[in-house]
Amino acid sequence: MLKVANISKSYGEVLAVDNLSFTVKPGEIFGLLGVNGAGKTTTFRIIMGLLDADQGEVTLNGKKIDYSVTDKIGFLTEERSLLTKLTVKEQCLFYGALKGMTKEKILKRLDELLERFQITEYKDRKIKELSKGNQQKIQFITAILNEPELLILDEPFTGLDPINIELFKKEIIQMAQKGSMIIFSTHRMEHVELFCKKIVVLLRGRPVLEGYISDIKEKYRKKNIFLKADIDKEKIKKIPGVIDVIEKSDELEVKIESSDVVDNVFEVVKKAKNLTKFVVEEPSLNEIFVAKVGEAYDK
């Protein structure tokens, strides 16, 4: 288990991470979210042991993360660290050896991964000759070459097209199924909702939303009703528990305090003409994020 306990870090006057704690268990995919400058990269650097926290502790399976456990860790840094003058094979041999892998093992795993990422033909090409997306694939392949127990991915999807995002996701999910702990950062909510169960959202280094997504949604309580009917939206706005009614092309989105309000809205709407849609949905994580971050900014 990865345990991040009460870490804080300042750069001079700037408090980049403020008393952050979370755990990631084997098989879990954990999302570290936040706007630019929220403290995601600083958190990763502390986890990887590249930066010392001013306070708090990070442990992997009960032990401090240092040189002795680097063979268990894989990471994709935000700066991207490709040795662009080398060929794909040469770079993997270099990084694989640093992780304590034998040459045979590296080459076997590299062949498998190049095949999975559909770039077998680039094995002996210099990295600088590859497109940005393919360079990113090589960076990712390098990070997972040693089948790490802990995989850290700083903005892994930046610059990828939707097809490649799917390829990356598939691989990440498979690694989690095999028991890796995966932690990744992003500012795109849709990447999180699809395959991540647990998150923390940082705002100026401080967690503003955290835990299992299902719990977060349940606690948030607010729901949205999407309906189509010939009805005046002002009539719906008057129902107690209705927060807002928004007109969207051919339907209305009714924001309500909680699911307790659904019946009251239905009672009013069912009398309207041409009722063809009445769907209750949970708010998206993005909606909760905007609400929470907005709240936190206002304070």
Question: Minimum CB separation from ligand ATP for residue 13, in Å?
Answer: 9
Residue number, 14 or 194, with CB nearest to ligand ATP:
14
Residue number, 149 or 154, with CB nearest to ligand ATP:
154
Distance separating alpha carbons of residues 155 and 93, to the nearest angstrom? 25
Question: Minimum CB separation from ligand ATP for residue 11, in Å?
Answer: 3
Distance separating alpha carbons of residues 115 and 291, to the nearest angstrom? 43
Residue number, 29 or 47, with CB nearest to ligand ATP:
47
Question: Minimum CB separation from ligand ATP for residue 54, in Å?
Answer: 13
Mention every residue, 6+ apart, whose C-beta is less than 8 A from residue 144. Answer: 74, 113, 151, 171, 175
Residue number, 71 or 78, with CB nearest to ligand ATP:
78
Residue number, 78 or 253, with CB nearest to ligand ATP:
78
Residue number, 16 or 189, with CB nearest to ligand ATP:
16
Tokens of 281: 């949905």
Which residues bind to ligand ATP, rule: CB under 6 A?
11, 14, 16, 34, 36-42, 78
Distance separating alpha carbons of residues 36 and 208, to the nearest angstrom? 15
Question: Minimum CB separation from ligand ATP for residue 39, in Å?
Answer: 4
Question: Minimum CB separation from ligand ATP for residue 78, in Å?
Answer: 6
Q: What is the DSSP string of the chain?
A: -EEEEEEEEEETTEEEEEEEEEEE-TT-EEEEEESTTSSHHHHHHHHTTSS--SEEEEEETTEE-SGGGGGGEEEE-TT----TTSBHHHHHHHHHHHTT--HHHHHHHHHHHHHHTT-GGGTTSBGGGS-HHHHHHHHHHHHHTT--SEEEEESTTTT--HHHHHHHHHHHHHHHHTT-EEEEEES-HHHHHHH-SEEEEEETTEEEEEEEHHHHHHHH--EEEEEEEE--HHHHHTSTTEEEEEEETTEEEEEESSGGGHHHHHHHHTTSEEEEEEEEEPPPHHHHHHHHHHHHHH-
Question: Minimum CB separation from ligand ATP for residue 169, in Å?
Answer: 20
Residue number, 39 or 156, with CB nearest to ligand ATP:
39
Question: Minimum CB separation from ligand ATP for residue 45, in Å?
Answer: 8
Q: Is 110:117 a contact under the CB 8 Å cutoff?
A: no
Residue number, 206 or 223, with CB nearest to ligand ATP:
206
Question: Minimum CB separation from ligand ATP for residue 53, in Å?
Answer: 12
